[in-house]
Amino acid sequence: MKTFRYPDAFPLEDAGLHNALKNQLGLDKKPSLDRVKKIFKKYAGWEAYATLYLWKSLELTS
């Protein structure tokens, strides 16, 4: 993900990513790894960008 040279970099087990998905999707608990993979299928090749936006959403809810 460094300097966007890897737009498909995907920190699947990142706690921040899971918290952001929980918040954005209105879930009661963090999503499972399988659910995260399923959600990110539509972002294939652009996972790093989607992750950055999700991380940014955590700042907005703090």
| pLDDT, position 8 | 83
Q: Could you tell me the residue range of the domain that residue 41 belongs to?
A: 2-60
Tens digits of per-residue pLDDT, 4-61?
Answer: 678 888 899 999 999 999 999 999 999 999 999 999 999 998 998 999 999 999 997 6
One-character DSSP codes across 1-62: -GGGS-TT---TT-HHHHHHHHHHHT-SSPPPHHHHHHHHGGGTT-HHHHHHHHHHHHHHT-
| pLDDT, position 6 | 80
Residue 28 annotated among the catalytic residues of the structure? no
Catalytic hit among 8, 14, 28, 34: 14
CATH classification at residue 35: 1.10.1670.40
* Inter-residue contact 36 to 18 (CB < 8 Å): yes
| pLDDT, position 2 | 57
Cα–Cα distance, 51 to 24 (Å, whole number): 12
Number of structural domains in the chain: 1
Cα–Cα distance, 58 to 62 (Å, whole number): 6
| pLDDT, position 5 | 76
